[in-house]
Amino acid sequence: MSEIGGRSNVKELFAYAAGGLRDFTRIASSHPEMWRDICIANRDCLLTEILCFEKKLKSIASMLEAGDQTALEKLFADARAAREKWLNGVYR
């Protein structure tokens, strides 16, 4: 939320937002001190995960730059399959 909130076109971006964004970002309403403490207490794990996300985002950027429709479709199909497994209790 802070990234979007700091942009010059913030009003335009939030005009496109729907209820899903509100639900997805509800933790941004929590106290900053609490999240600061959680992040510091879990810094090693968070840094590891941030590096994983960074690598994945670079991969997605490459797919977009190349216009690789097949790779993008596979990415979304894999995400859909993982969500379905989670909803069906496979990962419990």
Cβ atoms of residues 18 and 25 within 8 Å = no
**pLDDT value for 60:** 98
Q: Is residue 54 part of a domain?
A: no
- Six-digit token string for 56: 């994945």
Examine residue 25 and state whether it is found in any structural domain, yes or no: yes
Asked if 46 contacts 37 with a C-beta cutoff of 8 angstroms, the reply is no
Number of domains in the chain: 1
In a domain, residue 37? The reply is no
Range of the domain at 16: 1-30
Q: What is the pLDDT of residue 22?
A: 82
Classify residue 72 as exposed, middle or buried by CB count within 10 Å of its CB (0-12, 13-18, 19+).
middle
The predicted-structure confidence for 9-41, as pLDDT tens digits, reads as follows 999 888 888 778 888 888 888 999 999 999 999
What residues have CB less than 8 Å from 10, skipping those under 6 apart? 4
Give residue 18's pLDDT. Answer: 79
pTM of the model: 0.75
